[in-house]
Structure 1
């Protein structure tokens, strides 16, 4: 007995590609009813497009310093003004989106892969393997995320790569606990016992039957964690432990502008707004995605 399939619509076969198409359409319809989720999705897409097309949209080289133009207010030449060394804030904001979003996506991806692997192994095999992995996760979760990331970056050194691994490391226990709980509930179902009785290997059972059935909470958690990853990475850069100058990064831009917040508040205002919008966008979209993927939601 295999996993349950969707109820078919008259005249439309439900297997294969049509089944996936119907699931995506049903998911989109649920998301479309959630206005906040759609707004969050549009915000995320907007900033992703800005990051992708930054070279085409930028009006200046983000690293060009013109000291004579420093601390200028927004104008026709410099749309969002200039910073303390005369660099164009608008152009740096676009290129900073590339760094911040890359750190958010990559750290979440790395943390999700490691956490999902550990969570499935712990939930499926149980016993001492489960106890060992969960106690290790408990130890990691005992430390606040920013402090753990600070410790890791302090040891490895300040760089974008090290920030990605530091933020990803803290994501591992969160994903592991979520996946472990989902795995425990799925492996108790009758169709898993039937597949095991037919002689399927543990590898096939885990990756062909269990993992596809627990993707929903993984996707939701990944979407929500990207926002946390961006905040953590920005905080590290603000403290001087993230992306090295002169590379544009939102947290580093906030740090550079804090000394001129009364004289030229635009230096910190626009990077702060960018961080706020991206984080709110991912949170709104993640919340909507959670509701849309929840099988108990009937609306």
Structure 2
């Protein structure tokens, strides 16, 4: 990569092959998001990205379920049932779905059809997976949120790390969702992770401009992931509802919530979070599957109070522009 900026994987729509190509063409590096996609869709995106001739990576969710017992799940489903009725959804009767996001099939695809870099989120992949991917020619990165997780990833044989601050938008990559690492500034996370492992580190979380990029690089990172700053990029797949919320003056803060997916994630505060956060159990992916039809319907209807609005603390700096312009703005002062 010519520039030390990486487009973070944003599962569920914002990351597109157009965005990956635009960032790569601008001199950065970009990740496809395999999360929540069937293997066939991931394979198609890999083929499209490869046709550009630009290097890229693929991010995969490690299946580290957070079980929720049926009674707690049913209580929460009944609690949020009123939210689905305007869209014809019977949330109270929704099944409790636990799955591994097609883990085995996605790993088999990446071993069979290797990409330059594979990154993992939500925990440590098995050592055999790391071995097979490296033998296939991929470099393997693991997302970590504190020095202890970083040490475990280094011992596993990871080629590098993504150090994710709690200021990041979307799901925390923490190995312990029931007790996530206390939030600390990104530069204060990068330094200890680099010192503990000596591995190359990409820094992620709360980046709002070039000053944050400089601070992360000064702390020892070799590159900085940006996600929230690309949500309004011309090439992103962010829904119109989400885009509008990022500029809505009433959305004046981000909060950490498990109300939508049962796993801690940072997003813009809205009515759904206010109403249900106190009652939401830990339970991933069961709660993700429970609320997913509601979130899709709400996004299509422009209802920003019933959809997850993932965003990091730097969300006010996100602007509507070509991705290349955003990347250039972040790196011009370097």
Q: Give the TM-score of the pair, scaled to structure 1.
A: 0.25
* Greater percentage in strand: 2
Greater helix proportion: 1
Higher relative contact order (CA 8 A, sep 6+): 1
Q: TM-score, normalised by structure 2?
A: 0.23
